[in-house]
Amino acid sequence: MAFNLLIVDDSASIRQIIKRVIAISGFAAGDIYEAENGLFAYKILAGKRVDLVLSDVHMPHMDGITLLEKMKNNQALRHIPVVMVTTEARKQLVDKVMKLGAAGYIAKPFRPEEIKRLLQKILGVEDAGSNEAKFEEGDF
């Protein structure tokens, strides 16, 4: 089964890196939508089937925390898991987003296998085989 994902980050290059990481990880992604902030993401969520959201925390117009709160307060969207992806790894922020209902948290820089493992865990997907050899060395 392929899963539709929404990547929310104000940096186009970070969105492309995350898409590339998902592609090389071997994760079964279907459509991958992109939004430059929470406001655009919320509009996408209103019209597309999305199985999981990967969202930055700090963005203009609507940040990731506000997006998470709006999703959790919307009956039609509250079931969609949200993974926060950010450079800020303060325990206070991690605790806050987890308390608000985030399904997970990934700090930048991240390794491709971290994203793959977290997506598989959250979506209940078993690894069909190790793709570790396909990963390039280094953090993204």
* pLDDT, tens only, 76-130: 999 999 999 988 778 888 899 999 999 999 988 888 888 888 998 999 887 644 4
Mean pLDDT on 22-50? 94
Residue 110 CB-density burial (10 A; 0-12 exposed, 13-18 middle, 19+ buried)? middle
Q: Are 28 and 52 in contact (CB under 8 A)?
A: no
Contacts of 70 (CB under 8 A, 6+ apart): 38, 42, 62, 77
Mean pLDDT on 65-73? 97
Q: Are 36 and 59 in contact (CB under 8 A)?
A: yes
- Please give the structure tokens belonging to residue 110: 């991240």
Q: Going from the N-terminus, what domains does the chain have, and what CATH number goes with each? A: 3-112 (3.40.50.2300)
Q: Rounded mean pLDDT of the chain? A: 88
Q: Read off the pTM.
A: 0.87
